[in-house]
Amino acid sequence: MKKPPSLRPSITRMQQRLAAARALPAEQQVAFYYCNGKSLSDFCAELAAGNQSAISLALDVLAAEQWLQEQDSADYSHNIRTALQNAGLAGLLTPVQQKIHLAIESRHLRRLVLRAYHSEPGTDRESALRSLPEQQELMQQLFGHTPTLHLEPADWPTVAAPVAQLQLAARRRLITPEQAKQLAHSSEHYLMELIHDPESMLPAHHLQQPSPAPTDTLCYFFSENHDGSADWRIAPWGDIEPLVGFALAADTTFYRLNDDWGNCYGNNSEVTLT
């Protein structure tokens, strides 16, 4: 299947539909906007059965993500998306509709990947990790393939400096207190000094080539952006390994510094708190 089309036309149509819905009595707005004037259950039944009008509206609703109320994202998107998937699995979408559906599901896949591999540890990340194989299998069934995502480091969401992890790493003697202080303040100047002249910034024993780190270890990563600024992101070490910057394992078991000359320095934590 070719590259998914832009979802912009759907956004434009739903913006116009939103204005029309706002002009209706409050009790009619939801049914008109999401369901062609029907109840959600009736609309989803028509959608799953291949009603073309319902399919067209469902594609626009899911593609545009323009909600009457913020909570509608959960209330309506899940039901409509499930019904549309059922129609897709039954082969009831036209080739053009399939392409739009691919774009919608690819966007969902991208969000899952970012949550699973580029978000902070927690229940949301764990949920995404569990959902990702299901989404990949669903796309295989719907479209005959799972799209390859081309995510660049600039696509990874930024996060706040991991102050607690940096402080813990300093207490475990993984990094120095000065490193923790400067990095907790997201000091761009300090980062430039680290990557340009690590020999004068790091303890001598940190300058030895560190042992290989597990590639799937989740890390906080502080690096320079294309615009000259610097910020923190999160990724598995395997994604970070070739990049210039400072990486701290989220479990504070190691840190790595890749300098501007292609060298990798770091330290492994061997001190256990009592």
Which pLDDT tens digit goes with each residue over 191-248? 999 999 999 999 999 998 888 899 999 999 999 987 778 999 999 999 999 999 999 9
254 pairs with which residues across the strands? 268
Listing from the earlier edge strand, what are the strands of the sheet with 158-159? Answer: 158-159, 230-236, 218-224, 245-249, 254-258, 264-268
Q: Can you read off the two tokens belonging to residue 51?
A: 């009603």
Q: Tell me: the pLDDT tens digits for 243-273? A: 999 999 999 999 999 999 999 999 997 644 4
CA distance 215 to 256: 12
Give the DSSP H/E element, type plus range, for residue 138: helix 123-143
Q: Tell me: the pLDDT tens digits for 41-85? A: 999 999 999 999 999 999 999 999 999 998 888 889 999 999 999
> What angle (nearest 5°) sits at the alpha carbon of residue 87, between those of residues 19 and 74?
50
How far is the first Cα of the chain from the last one, in angstroms, to the nearest whole number?
A: 57
Nearest of 23, 43, 27 to residue 35 by alpha carbon? 43
3-state class of 139 per DSSP?
A: helix
151 confidence band (pLDDT: 50, 70, 90)? very high
Are 66 and 81 in contact by the 8 Å Cβ rule? The answer is no
